[in-house]
A and B are shown apart, each in its own frame.
Chain A
Amino acid sequence: MQIIDFSFQELAAGTPPLPLALTPNAETLLTSIFLRIASISNSIELSSSVAWRAQQPSTDTPKLIFRLRRSSLNGPVVFQTTDSVFLGITEPDETSGVPYDCTTDFISTESPDAPMVGTFQQYFLTVELAGSSTATITGPINLTGRVIGTD
């Protein structure tokens, strides 16, 4: 068993297009990587860290849905998880609240289907802001992938 492939993309905070204000209920591409799949017995491990900021006034609690998709931006969702932060409520005489900076980490592994063997597969990291809240992707954004198994 060996590491067949290793690939990553990382955007530091402040690197264009960061910071990126999110549009509610729209799925936004953050980054993507390619990984080589050598065998049906390979394991494809994807790990990610994304830093984001939420701030009142907001009419809702921000919920960020992070997805990993394969092959295209409309391709199958191979992993999905949600993160959120409680911001409290904004009193009528308040114009802004304290910004909350959050970091979301996750890891996912999948086994390839037969058609993926012998190909370079592209994996996309996306984020969707659920509801009517506001949030900003501040960065850093990291997406790392490795393929483990036999060549």
Chain B
Amino acid sequence: MAVTVVDYQFQEVAANTGSLPFQISPGSEVLLTSLFLQINSISNRIEIKATIGWEAQLLVVNIVPKLLFRIRRGGTGLSAPVVFQTTDSVFLGTASEGPWTPLDFTTSFQHTENATPAIVGTFQQYALTVEHIGQNVATITGPVHLDGTVYL
């Protein structure tokens, strides 16, 4: 039987539009964007893909910025379960050799999951968040892209 597409949704924010860019400091998880997907069968497979543009700069201390990206399901808050998370980081050099100009990076990832009985018959919210778990500050410059496809 052929696979059909039940739903496809996306959110995309270009650099320098909306609330971009914004700085993120260690210790807080920040919502980037979210979307709702229709889940109509226990046989559904849900594919989520994301791309985030960000920037970091070596300032006074030697830092390695680490960004923890999460996909949460069922809401945007900390109580919504994390269905995927991944970390990206970069080496920016040492302060003694600086100063260095800001560097821009692009992080992309994808997540796939099966529908569970609890979410069948609902529009499920999937939220993309970022948390800076390194030191100093990093900037979410954009673009921010999140899309979701539901297959049956």
> A interface vs B, CB < 8 Å?
1-3, 43, 45, 47, 60-61, 63, 66, 79-86, 88-89, 104-110, 148-149
Contacts and interface: CB of A to CB of B under 8 A. Distances in A.
Contacts of B92: 86
Nearest to A88: B93
Interface of B: 4-8, 10, 12, 14-15, 49-51, 53, 90-93, 97, 100-101, 103-106, 108, 141, 143, 145, 147, 149
B64 to A, nearest CB: 10
A80 B143 contact: yes
Majority SS at the chain B contact face: strand
A116 to B, nearest CB: 17
A47 B149 CA distance: 14
A33 to B, nearest CB: 18
B10 A81 contact: no
A89 B58 CA distance: 14
A61 B90 CA distance: 13
B91 A83 contact: no
30 contacts: A1-B6, A43-B10, A45-B8, A63-B104, A79-B12, A79-B14, A80-B15, A82-B105, A82-B141, A83-B106, A84-B103, A84-B105, A86-B91, A86-B92, A86-B100, A86-B103, A88-B93, A89-B97, A106-B51, A106-B145, A107-B49, A107-B50, A107-B51, A108-B145, A109-B10, A109-B12, A109-B145, A109-B147, A148-B8, A148-B149
